[in-house]
Amino acid sequence: MQRVAIVLAAILLAETAGAKMLSPGDPFPTWKLSDQTGKEVSAADLTGKTYLLWFYPKAMTPGCTTEGKALRDEYAAFQKKGVEIIGVSFDDPAANIAFVAAEGFPFRLLSDRDHKLALAVGAADSSAQPTARRISYLVGPDGKVVRAYETVTPASHAGDVLKDLTTD
C-alpha cells in the first residue's frame, strides 16, 4: 500500500512539474506540433529566428479572439522587428483552421493535443487540464527565452510585447 502511495505521489509530481514558468535566459524546450493545416512545425524550424509563442485557452472564445485580433492587427510591426507570431492551444487543427479563417490570422496556430509543450513551459498544470493557461514567451534566435509573459491581458498583449521589443 505504501508503495502505491509513493508511485501515485511521483505521478502527481511529474504532472505538476509543468506548472513553473521559464525565465529569461532559460533554453526553450524543443518541440514539434502540427499547425492548423496539419503541417508539422518545430523549434528546429525556427532556429535563428525570434518568435512569440502565445498560448491561448480555446479558439473562437472572446478573450482568445481579442488577443488574436490584436496580434493580427500588429502583425506588420512584428514582422518589421523580425518576430514570427505562433499561437498554441489544445484545440485540434480543424478548430484552429476555422479560427484562422474567421479572424484572418496571418500566423500559424499549433495544436498541443497531448499538452507536452504546455506542461514543459507552465501553460498547464496537468495533462488533464482542459485548456491552456494564457501565457506567452518571446524566444530569441538562440532558442533561449527573451521574455516570459505570465500575466497576459488579451487586448493589450500585442502592444506590450512590441513595447518590450523596443526597449530591449
- Closest C-alpha to 53, from 114, 165, 134: 134
31 counts as catalytic: no
Q: 55, 123 in Cβ contact below 8 A? A: yes
Pairing of strands 50-55, 83-89: parallel
Given the residues 64, 88, 109, 161, select the one marked as catalytic.
64
Coil, helix or strand at residue 31: coil
Q: How many residues does the chain have?
A: 168
Which long-range contacts link 152-160 to residues 24+ away (Cβ below 8 Å)? 152/54, 152/67, 154/63, 154/64, 154/66, 154/67, 154/70, 155/66, 155/67, 155/70, 156/70, 157/54, 157/67, 157/70, 157/71, 158/67, 158/70, 158/71, 158/73, 158/74, 158/78, 159/70, 159/74
Q: List active site positions.
A: 64
